[in-house]
Copies of this chain bind each other. A is one copy, B any other.
């Protein structure tokens, strides 16, 4: 049965998709800023995060208003509460993109990523882009098969993260400490970004099936 409440839920879902799209473009631009050492692109991401925060606040206002007006119960209530948690994950993904951009800006006019590590970082950016695009699609379509793919994508992200650390720590590498520290943090930002994407997808799966897998928290 469709009713006004379900229209409201659809609107919440659209707001979540909007957040996911912003979080996605933020990290895509931040990755480019990082690899190219482009301080202007980095500044765009840093400034743009306020928009994501504002949209998340709008979503929260909308959700709380919905709870107050409609007093939903059972699965309808759970859908609204879950939307709040998904918004939290997506806002955090935007924060992580901002952190990547800040490293890019801090290292300017140098680039933070040594040439031999550019392929790994590029791949991390690509996997992240794929993950956030799937997350947006899963929110919109509730497609469980696509939600399940995110676990595999996250394994790919974790493998790249380990590869980055192995390269940093290779006895032959001898990276200056500031480079190693930057890359350790950047690696963690991408890995956490992937974790939050998985977390959003799992919340959708929970809403659809009533079953919840453990959230990644590495």
Contacts and interface: CB of A to CB of B under 8 A. Distances in A.
A175 interface: yes
Instruction: Sort chain A's interface into a size bin.
Output: 20 to 34
Nearest to A181: B184
Given A181-B168, A185-B184, A64 B81 contact: yes
Contacts of A74: 68
Contacts of A78: 64
B67 A81 contact: yes
B77 A68 contact: yes
A116 B64 CA distance: 50
Interface string A44-57: 00000000000000
A217 B94 CA distance: 11
Interface in A102-131: none
Contact of A173 (B60, B165, B177): B177
Contact of A165 (B63, B71, B181, B217): B181
Contact of A169 (B63, B64, B168, B181): B181
